[in-house]
Amino acid sequence: MPPLQQTGIPLYHQLVEIFSERLASGEWAPGSLIPTELALCAQYGVSRGPVRQALERLVQEGRLTRKQGKGTTVLPPKIESNLGGLYSFTHLIEQKGLRHTAQTLAFTTITAAGSLARRLALQAGAPVFEIRRLRLADGEPLILETIHIATAVCPGLTAADLAADSLYRLMTTRYDLTLARAKQYFEPALADEYEAAHLQLKPGAPVLLLHNLTLTPAAAPVVLSRAILRGDRVRYLVELTLPLPVP
């Protein structure tokens, strides 16, 4: 075991790094129980406080889960998506070999007004589908989303349609739409009671807030959505290239 350093670095922070390496190396494999707090205290010669802090940090990061009376279990790796393309949760889940399902919490028609009408380039009073859905992977809730689409864009769309297929797939196959690009904004947030209840989190748990506006090749906005993603189960990758050296 690597020794803890008597420096200005807090003991719990050093333990986070050590435990992270045990996770990354596969020593603590997904689905396995890790040693108890008392066993870890004995291994590293520290009191229970730093060990508990370190484990709680890894729980918050979505790498461990703790259940009273059952110990601490290693969670599977987070579902990772590359931000280089148009975001599609269904496509992402299918790529990972997981089973995608969706629960429609509400499917109503409202009239566009204010910022909603402006962002979808609609006349005030135009009818708009308002769809609230919970997206799951292998039965685990991951995303809570609210979607707005003008009824003229997808006439006849129903909740049953969305339960059976991807929205983007329906738009391109049934409605013959071409989706060219999207403007997406990600920011950190904390789950409120409603969001936490649906995502099986504690109120105040860290989440990712995603605002999305999808456009056609003619830059016409067709889908406006707001999604709350579980920060402990989803992460996004951005690959960057360095600029060419100046000769």
Residues 131 and 169 occupy one common structural domain: yes
Q: pLDDT per residue over 89-104, tens digit each?
A: 666 676 667 777 888 9
Q: Does one domain contain both 162 and 184?
A: yes
Mean pLDDT of 130-134: 93
Taking only the tens place, the pLDDT of each residue in 3-58 is 576 667 888 888 988 898 888 888 999 889 999 999 999 999 889 999 999 998 88
69-75: long-range contacts (C-beta < 8 A, 24 or more apart)?
Answer: 71/33, 71/34, 71/36, 72/33, 72/34, 73/31, 73/32, 73/33, 73/34, 74/23, 74/28, 74/29, 74/30, 74/31, 74/32, 74/33, 74/34, 75/30, 75/232, 75/233
Q: Choose one of 30, 54, 74: the last residue of a domain.
A: 74
- pTM comes to 0.71
- Are 158 and 214 in the same domain? yes
Is position 110 within any domain? Answer: yes
* Top-ranked range on mean pLDDT: pick from 92-96, 139-143, 154-158, 231-235: 154-158
In a domain? residue 208? yes
- Report residue 69's pLDDT band, with 50, 70 and 90 as the boundaries: confident
pLDDT in tens, 187-205: 888 999 999 999 998 898 8
Number of domains comprising the chain: 2
Range(s) of the domain holding residue 179: 79-237
Are residues 63 and 87 both part of a single domain? no
**Low-confidence winner among 84-93, 99-108, 229-238 (lowest mean pLDDT):** 84-93
Q: Is 3 among the domain residues? A: no
Whether residue 6 is contained in a domain is answered as: no
Q: For position 231, what pLDDT does the model report?
A: 81
What per-residue confidence (pLDDT) applies to 2? Answer: 56
217 and 178 in one domain? yes
Same domain, 65 and 178: no
Pair (120, 210) in one structural domain: yes
